[in-house]
Amino acid sequence: MNIFDKIEPEKKKILEQTKALLTGHFRLSSGRHSQYYFQCARLLQYPEITRQIAEELAQTFKEEQIDVVVSPAVGAIILGYELARLLGCRAVFTERQEGKMTLRRGFEIYPGENVLIAEDVITTGGSVLEIKELLIHHRQVKIKGFVAIVDRSRGKFKPEERFVKWLTLELENYTPEECPLCKKGLELIYPGSRTLTS
C-alpha cells in the first residue's frame, strides 16, 4: 500500500506541493533509520501553509490560557512561533548544549506557567520529553500538552498530557543494527539539525 493512501486529500496535496516527504535512506534525529524522511523545513517555508497547520493544532488549546510555547531548535522554532502568535503568548526554544537540552539566550520560563510543547516531527518523542523534564524539574510549570506537525511514532509516543498532531504517518523505522537499507549498502543521509551548533 502506498503511504499516501491513508492521507486526507487536502493534506496529501500539501505534501505533494511542498515536496516535504523524501524517499531514500535516512538517519533520523532519534538515531533510527528509515526509507522516508519528513523534511518540515520544506513545508514551513510557506507562511500560509504554516498558518493553516498551526491554526488546526492551536484550536485544542485556545481555552487553556497558554503562557508560552516551547519548541526544540532548530526544526520546530517556526511552528512554535506561529502557535504562540495564534495563542497570544510567548515563544521560546531549547537547544542542546553538550548533548543536554537547555534554555539559552536569556529565555526564562516562570513557575506556574502554562506550557505547550511543540515539535515538527515526533519519532520517539525523546526531544519533547527532555523539554518536559527540564521544565517540570527546574521550573515547576504546568504542561498543557504536546503538538506536532507529524507523528511517525507508530503509536509509541503516548504522553500523559494531550497530544495533537496534524498528520500521522505510519512509516517504518529501524535501529541501525536491523536496518535493511544498511544491509543493501545504500548511502545513509542525515538531513536533520540536531548536530548544528551556534
pTM for this prediction = 0.85
Q: With cut-offs at 50, 70 and 90, classify the pLDDT of residue 194.
A: low
| C-alpha distance from residue 180 to each of 26, 66, 173, 174 (Å) | 12, 43, 10, 8
Domain boundaries, the chain: 9-183
Considering the four listed CATH numbers 2.60.120.330, 1.10.10.10, 3.40.50.2020, 3.30.70.100, the one that applies to the domain covering 9-183 is: 3.40.50.2020
Answer yes or no: is pLDDT of 42 > 60: yes
Answer yes or no: is pLDDT of 162 > 60: yes
Q: With cut-offs at 50, 70 and 90, classify the pLDDT of residue 192.
A: low
Residue type for position 11: K
Question: Among residues 29, 21, 18, 27, which one has the least CA distance to residue 3?
Answer: 21
